[in-house]
Amino acid sequence: MDPDQHIPNRPREIWKLMRSGPLLGRVRLQPAKNSVLKLLAACLLAEGTHVLDEVPGIADVGYVRDILETAGAGWAQEGRRVFVKSPAQPNPRLDIPAVSSLRASVVFLAPLLARCGTVSMPFPGGDDFGLRPIDLHLSALALMGAEFEVNGSGVKVWARQGLRGARIVLEYPSHTATDNIMMAAVLAKGTTVIVNAAREPEVSDLADFLRAMGARIEGDGTSHVSIEGTDSLVPAPSPFVPIPDRVEAATFMTACALCKGSITIENARPEHLERLIEKFDAMGVRCVAASQGLEVACEARLSAVDVPSLPYPGIATDYLPLLTVALSVAEGVSVITENVFGPNRFRFVGELAKMGADITIEGHHAVVRGVPSLRGAAVKALDVRAGAAMVLAGLAAEGQTVVEGIEHVRRGYEALAEKLVSLGASIEQVRPPSATG
């Protein structure tokens, strides 16, 4: 789904890219999109003013702000410090288009259900990777005493007797379902245990934030999370700084792999990137944990490797478009397997083929035959990660590449062009004349 589909005739932002490299210098990561969005939703769990630091100016934060304001919360900002004033009685009816503009809106289900006993919203949207159901969220909430109704326009959930703790064995370690269950459980009666929980670092960041609000959670970061419900929570006593964005880190690692050079990613957390670092090592990219951050260097042509996406700590599905672009110019044949979402995650391969990549899609596998180099072309950004990957392809290609649809990239990256340019990349940003056309 196009996140901007409710804005008619929106002009598209394009970036013009020229072959760049070697990249040299230092960059600093923004906080993780997939943490910040959940932390903002979690503010609804406790009345009062919550303070989050370093909140990035990405489009998805704007959508979440709209949702928070519809729920009755106040929003104030001083630079990147955001103050969310959570009301005594939130509005649980979120019937605004912003909800359908991003997947993360699904994490408003639990806080509003926990606080109001009911919540209704349109279906969450976000990147089009094929079907993105919310059945795991709803069945878990049902085990905790909720009932729900799904119709053509959205979902309504309510809990007449309030939420109660339950043992929930997830069929799949869904990231946002784990977020939702933790947030429902912190205000439920009794203890909730999540078996086969998602282990993503962003889940632990949410758990840290909830603990700072007084929640009792143990085991986050493992597949067995235990939450003891409490009657009420309070805003964290000091401003909360979310963890750095590991997908943005992967983006700069890939940029260095493609354009060569030597860069330092200042606040990267190597412990969140272990499997990815192993893959880059095998491709011939040197990644060394520094006292603070990660040093990345690459001089020679990349080598082919096989890559399967898996839930954390496996290689994240969000890295696949980046790795596909890198491997498209590697020596040899790589097989990239998407195990998390459907083959739609490979839609961008059609765009990469316009640049001379030799890739065949077979079900959920992409067979990538490395070519010596890509050539510039006019291509589209189809979603946030694929869009970033096409930008990097443009920096590695001969001649000029024009990437259209940069709005998708802006959903998750605050200053990607500026940061790449600071490392020596050649990018011209052509913004549309007005935001609404």
What does the binding site for ligand EPU look like in residue numbers (CB under 6 A)?
33-34, 37, 103-104, 127, 132-137, 172, 174-177, 200, 316-318, 340-341, 384-385, 412
Name which of 200 and 407 has its Cβ closer to ligand EPU: 200
Shortest reach from residue 139's CB to ligand EPU, in Å? 8
Tell me the CA distances in angstroms from 38 to 65, 66, 249, 281, 431, one per residue in order.
12, 14, 20, 32, 29
Name which of 155 and 352 has its Cβ closer to ligand EPU: 155
What's the sign of the alpha-carbon dihedral 105, 111, 114, 117? negative
Shortest reach from residue 87's CB to ligand EPU, in Å? 24
Shortest reach from residue 342's CB to ligand EPU, in Å? 7
Name which of 55 and 302 has its Cβ closer to ligand EPU: 55
Shortest reach from residue 172's CB to ligand EPU, in Å? 5
Contacts of residue 174, defined as CB under 8 A and 6 or more positions apart, other chains included, come to 136, 137, 198
Q: How many residues does the chain have?
A: 437
Q: How far apart are the first and last CA of the chain?
A: 20
Q: In what order do the strands lie in the sheet with 147-151?
A: 118-122, 154-158, 147-151
Shortest reach from residue 142's CB to ligand EPU, in Å? 12
Name which of 138 and 329 has its Cβ closer to ligand EPU: 138
Instruction: Render 187-255 in DSSP notation, one character per residue.
Output: TSBSEEEEET----HHHHHHHHHHHHTT-EEE-BTBSEEEEE--S-----SS-B-PPB-HHHHHHHHHH
Catalytic residues: 127
Helix (H) or strand (E) run with residue 183 in it? helix 175-185
Shortest reach from residue 4's CB to ligand EPU, in Å? 16
Work out the angle at residue 27's Cα, subtended by the Cα atoms of residues 390 and 78, and round it to the nearest 5 degrees: 100
Helix (H) or strand (E) run with residue 257 in it? helix 246-259
Q: Omega before 22 cis (within 30°)?
A: yes
Name which of 15 and 319 has its Cβ closer to ligand EPU: 319
* C-alpha 45: how far from chain center: 22
Residue 228, class by beta-carbon neighbours within 10 Å (0-12 exposed, 13-18 middle, 19+ buried)? Answer: middle
Instruction: Render 70-139 in DSSP notation, one character per residue.
Output: HTT-EEEEETTEEEEEE-SS---B--SGGGGG-GGGGGGHHHHHHHHSEEEEEPP--S-SS----HHHHH
Shortest reach from residue 60's CB to ligand EPU, in Å? 8
Q: Which two tokens stand for residue 216?
A: 């009792």
Find out whether 385 and 254 touch, Cβ atoms under 8 Å. Answer: no
Name which of 318 and 351 has its Cβ closer to ligand EPU: 318
Contacts of residue 331, defined as CB under 8 A and 6 or more positions apart, other chains included, come to 301, 302, 303, 304, 370
Shortest reach from residue 381's CB to ligand EPU, in Å? 12
CA atoms within 13 A on the CB side of 23: 30
Q: 3-class SS at 181?
A: helix
Name which of 313 and 350 has its Cβ closer to ligand EPU: 313
Per 3-state DSSP, the chain is made up of helix, strand and coil in percentages (nearest 5) of: 35, 25, 40
Assign residue 16 a region (left: φ > 0; alpha: ψ between -120 and 50; beta: otherwise): beta
Name which of 45 and 107 has its Cβ closer to ligand EPU: 107
Shortest reach from residue 37's CB to ligand EPU, in Å? 6
